[in-house]
Amino acid sequence: MEAVHTLLWEKVINAEEIFENIQNPYVISIVQPTVEKMILLLDYETILLELTPEQSEQEKEKTKNLSFDGRGLKILIADDSPSIRDFLEQELLDNNFTVISAKDGKDALEKFNKEKIDLIISDVEMPRMDGLALTKMVRDDPEKSDLPIIVYSSIGDIGMKQRASYLKADHITKLNMDELLEKVGFLLKLQTNNKPTV
C-alpha cells in the first residue's frame, strides 16, 4: 500500500551525515516517515548534469563573455547538491568573488552570522532548514534585511517566484548560469550605489 507523507524540511537528514565515507553522488537526503520506512531523496541536479553533460558545458560557455569582477565581495552559497555547489563556486571564483559554501540552510545561517556576506544564493529544498526559511531569518535581522538574496531553485513555477518576491528575494531557475551571474552583478552594483557616502 502506498501513502503520501507530509514532512518538514527540518526532519530531512543530509545523506553525508548517514553514509559518511560511502560515496554515493545520487542520494542527497534521507527521510524516515515511519519507524519501518526510510526514503532516499535523489540529487536531481547531479543526475541531470551526468545525463546531459553538454548542458553544463553550454552554461559555462555562456558565462565566458561576462565581465563581472567580484574582487572584495563575498558570496554565500547554500545548496545540498555537491554538484551544484561545486559548479556555482567555480563560476563565482572565476569572476574573482570570495565564496563560502553551505550544505543546507542551517549551515548557511551559522556561516552567515560569522561572516560579512555581500550576497546569498540559496537553493529552496534542503535538509534541516530550507532556503525560504533561511531567507526569512536573514530578512528578520534589521541590520541585514536589505542584503541581496537570490533563490536559485529547480522549482520554476509562479508560486515559487511569488514566495521569493514576498521575502524580497530574486528567483532564478537552476542551471541558467548567465542569468544568475547577470543578476549577481546587477544586485551588487545596486547595493553599492545605494550605500550612503560618508
Residues 112-127: tens digit of each pLDDT: 999 999 999 999 988 8
pLDDT of residue 9: 65
pLDDT of residue 197: 47
Helix (H) or strand (E) holding 142: none
Take residue 40 and report the three cell numbers written for it.
532516499
For the residues 169-193, what does the mean pLDDT come to? 86
Question: What's the full length of the chain, in residues?
Answer: 198
Map residue 81 onto helix, strand or coil.
Answer: coil
Cα gap 70→155, rounded to integer Å: 27
Is 27 part of any domain? Answer: yes
72 and 149 housed in the same domain? yes
150 and 109 housed in the same domain? yes
136 and 40 housed in the same domain? no
81 and 143 housed in the same domain? yes
Is 53 part of any domain? Answer: no
Measured in whole angstroms, the distance separating CA 177 from the mean position of its chain's CA atoms is: 13
CB 93 within 8 A of CB 57: no
The number of domains in the chain is 2
For residue 110, the enclosing domain spans 60-194
Map residue 9 onto helix, strand or coil.
Answer: helix
- What is the value of pTM for the model shown? 0.74
64 and 156 housed in the same domain? yes
CATH of the domain at 91: 3.40.50.2300
Taking the C-alpha atoms of 192, 134, 121 and 107 in order, what is their torsion angle to the nearest 10 degrees? 110
28 and 126 housed in the same domain? no
Is 109 part of any domain? Answer: yes
For the residues 92-103, what does the mean pLDDT come to? 93
Is 55 part of any domain? Answer: no
pLDDT tens for 1-35 read 466 656 666 666 776 666 655 566 767 677 776 66
Burial (0-12, 13-18, 19+ Cβ within 10 Å), 171? buried
18 and 115 housed in the same domain? no
Cross-strand partners of 74: 98
Is 52 part of any domain? Answer: no
Q: How many CB atoms lie within 10 A of CB 194?
A: 8
Q: In angstroms, how far apart are the furthest CA atoms of the chain?
A: 67
Is 174 part of any domain? Answer: yes
146 and 177 housed in the same domain? yes
21 and 118 housed in the same domain? no
Is 29 part of any domain? Answer: yes
CB 104 within 8 A of CB 126: yes
Q: Let me know the angle formed at the C-alpha of 152 by 49 and 48, rounded to the nearest 5 degrees.
A: 15
For the residues 79-107, what does the mean pLDDT come to? 91
64 and 139 housed in the same domain? yes
26 and 110 housed in the same domain? no
88 and 35 housed in the same domain? no
Take residue 151 and report the three cell numbers written for it.
533563490
Is 67 part of any domain? Answer: yes
